Every structure is written in C-alpha cells, then in structure tokens.
Amino acid sequence: MQTARWVTVMKPSFIREILKVTAQPGVISFAGGLPAPELFPVPELVAAFADALAGSGRQLLQYSPTEGDPGLRAVLSERLTERRVPAGPDDILLTNGSQHGLDLVAKALIDPGDLVLVENPTYLGALQAFGPYGPRIQPVESDEEGMLPGALADAVARERPKLVYVMPTFQNPRGTSMGAARRTAIAAVCRQAAVAVVEDDPYGELRYRGEEQPGIRSFWDQAIYLGTFSKTLAPGLRLGWVTAPPALMGALKLGLQATCLHVGTLTQRVAAMVLSSADYPIHLARLRQEYGRRMSVMLGQMESAFPAGTRWSNPDGGLFIWVELPDGLQSLDLFHLAVAQKVAFVPGQPFFVGEGGDSMLRLNFSNSTPAQITEGMARLGRAIAQLTGAGAPLGT
C-alpha cells in the first residue's frame, strides 16, 4: 500500500519513543509533560458526569453543533476576557485538545510550500501537527523570552510567511515567558504585515509567581489563541478550544466538521459545570500550590546537586525547566548515562528546527513527587558529573 507523501517525510515523535524507555519500573521520569494524576479532580468529575447524565442525558448523548456547547463557550469567553485574551462566545470553537486546534489552524491556513515561522526551540507537537499540510518551517532567532521581534520583522519582510507560531507564556520546552513589551512587539509585526499569528497557551493558568501577562489578542484582535483543559482538569478529557477572528472561524468549523463533526457533547457540558462551580478556583489554587512546590524543590535540588557550570531556566510557572550542560557536553550522551541510573529527561535537540539544543535538556516537574524529584536530581547530578569526568563512578 502506498501511503501519502507526508507519512514518509514525518519522523515519529522522539518524545513518544523516550516515554517507552521511561515506562520501565523504577525509572524516575522527568521526560513527559504529564500532569500529576493525584491532582485530577476525580470526585468533582464523577459528580458532574452523574448530574449531567441524570439531568440531560438524552440531549447530551445526541449529536450537537460543530462550534460546541454554548454554555461552555460563554464561561470560557468570560474567563478569557478576564485574563486579557478578549473573546466573545462566537469567537470560540471547542476542539479535542489544543493539539487538535493546531491541526485545525494548519488545515485552514496552510497550502503546501507555505512558510510557517516558529520559535527555536519550539513545541515538537506543533511541528507534527503542521507537517501533513506540507509547509516550509523556518525557525526565527529566539532568546529566553522566545521569538525576537526584530528577527521576526526581518523574516516577514524577506519572505511573506503564512503563519507565525509562538508560546508567550511558560514556553514548552524552556518554561520561560515573554514580557509585555515582547508580546506587543510580536503582535505589531504580525498586525502590520497582516500575517496570522497563533498563541498556544496550555500553561497560562499554571502561574506560581509573578504577574499575569496580556494575551497577543489584546494587542491584535485577529490573533489566534489556543487553550486546553489538559493541564488544569485532565488531558484524558481531550478538550480544548481555538479562539479566532470571524474571518477564520468558518474555515476552522469546516475543518472540524470534516474530521469529527463536533467534540464530545457530554464532556463539554461537564467542563462547563466544573468551570462554573465554586470548587474550581480551589482546585486551581491547589494545582498552583503543589506544582509551584515541586518546581521549587527541583530548582533547589539542582542548585545543590548539579556540577558548576550547569545552567537552567527559572520559570514563573508551567511544567518545565530547561537545562544547559557545561562545556558543550552532549545531552544525548547524558541521556544514556541517566537511563542506566534510572532517571530520564528529554534531550534538547528534537525541540530545535535545524541545528541546536545538543547541550540542552528539558525537565518536567509536575509528574513526580517532591521525594522523587530530590532523588532524581541527585542521580542526574551524578550523571552530569560523570560526563564532565569529575564525578565518582556511577553506582556509588
């Protein structure tokens, strides 16, 4: 059987391959971007599913409109607007998670050969989502805050891109964020050139310190915004949304209809109920407190366990810390030593378009307990020391 050309061009996700290795017993894994299952609001979801089915079961088990539950879109509109991501209910389309949102945006905008500009490093899953539509993907020079507006302006002037993809808040993989000035500048470049810009924001509500920043939509109402319940409720719900200008909404809906008609009716209603409940702010506060604690434990342990010259990001939220090894040491070499020590992470290279990331790695702190983080950082510190040639032999 002859598959489509994109299948042969696309590589399987390196992270998924790593996750197979790390599923072995006894491995402390900082590799995936998984939330803590012990923090899923299971009793609240049990009650909401039961109430929804008992109250409106026949309606909620039926097909429903493509754009999604009006109640959920109304609650989301209020919450987003409060968070300075202005959006009316009709600007919101429910999706099966933001990965689906990335696919829909690409489906609506990209013809084969179109140019997509991304930060470097960037979210691997976005590259995978765009891939089947045949774009040329080019990295834009980036620093700790993400994409550099000057470099973006140059790229836009040189070669008209179709789409710009950014993660301004708690970027995956760096964990770092754009300040207000950077956001304004990125929005201005895209607005002036009328180039579509996507803000992907799965982590914005997981802030542990610092001030919340405005969304790109607050500087340009044509900006696209992707949100998800994966990190604040549970990824297994597969529920997220695209916020888009009216001119794009028709194409997004057509794309969604073509793949799946609409997102699960019952799940959307349950999400609306949970979001509107008095317990939700308590749930969010608990997530922030516990993830913030895990991040602090990781940062503190890195300070004491990592050899001199190792550097790392110091995020205000999200789920990741980005590490740079000393003396150009290779994170892939470290990966093999670390796995032998039963500790895992994602090497930096797969997050880069083109060259880069060889000395870097991404650590997740949400899916390990503070005790696992402490032990895992000690193991990783020993593995880095061994790689530098300064450490005691592993196993001691």
For ligand PLP, the binding residues (CB under 6 A) are 33, 97-99, 123, 125, 167, 172, 200, 202, 228, 230, 235, 240
| Token duo for residue 370 | 């503070």
Nearest-approach distance from CB 382 to ligand PLP, in angstroms? 29
| Token duo for residue 244 | 């888009």
Nearest-approach distance from CB 2 to ligand PLP, in angstroms? 30
Q: Residues of 77-87 as b/e, b for ≥16 C-beta within 10 angstroms? A: bebbeebebbb
Q: 106 or 387: whose CB is closer to ligand PLP?
A: 106
Nearest-CA neighbor of 227 among 255, 193, 204? Answer: 204
Q: 22 or 341: whose CB is closer to ligand PLP?
A: 22
Question: Are the beta carbons of 256 and 104 closer than 8 angstroms?
Answer: yes
Nearest-approach distance from CB 308 to ligand PLP, in angstroms? 31
Q: 166 or 383: whose CB is closer to ligand PLP?
A: 166
Nearest-approach distance from CB 118 to ligand PLP, in angstroms? 11
Q: 97 or 139: whose CB is closer to ligand PLP?
A: 97
Question: Are the beta carbons of 63 and 265 closer than 8 angstroms?
Answer: yes
Give the ranges where 238-279 is alpha helix by DSSP (H). 246-260, 265-276
Nearest-approach distance from CB 32 to ligand PLP, in angstroms? 9
Q: 104 or 167: whose CB is closer to ligand PLP?
A: 167
First to last CA, the chain: 53
Q: 131 or 326: whose CB is closer to ligand PLP?
A: 131
Q: Residues of 121-140 as b/e, b for ≥16 C-beta within 10 angstroms? A: bbbbbbbbbbbbbebebebb
Residue 357 has phi, psi (to 5 degrees) of 85, 5
Which strand (E) or helix (H) includes residue 228? strand 224-228
- Nearest-angstrom CA–CA distance, 150 and 380: 37
Nearest-approach distance from CB 35 to ligand PLP, in angstroms? 9
Residue nearest ligand PLP, CB atom distance: 97
